[in-house]
Amino acid sequence: MNNFDEYNRPIKIAEGIYWVGFYDEISNFHCNPYLLIESDQAVLIDGGSRPDFAVVMSKILQTGIHPRQIVALIYQHYDPDL
């Protein structure tokens, strides 16, 4: 197992907070969306771009959250990766 294997799943940062992004070793690029969960609702911060959708959504589902439970999307800056 290499150091990047942990990127294949959501990473719990704190209670109710998960990093659901990914790391591309070839381009050395991090996509850094975060999922905040409270009770049965969630907020996604900086969800990534269209090509990132499958990986990010897969990790969201791994946390046990259904997409209908995401009540808000927050994009904190303008960037082509968002």
pLDDT for the residue 79: 66
| Number of other residues whose CB lies within 10 A of the CB of residue 61 | 13
Tell me which H or E stretch contains 37: strand 34-38
pLDDT for the residue 1: 44
Instruction: Measure the CA–CA gap between 38 and 43, rounded to whole angstroms.
Output: 9
Tens-digit pLDDT profile for the chain (82 aa)? 445 567 789 999 999 999 999 887 888 878 899 999 999 999 999 998 888 899 999 999 999 999 999 999 998 877 665 5
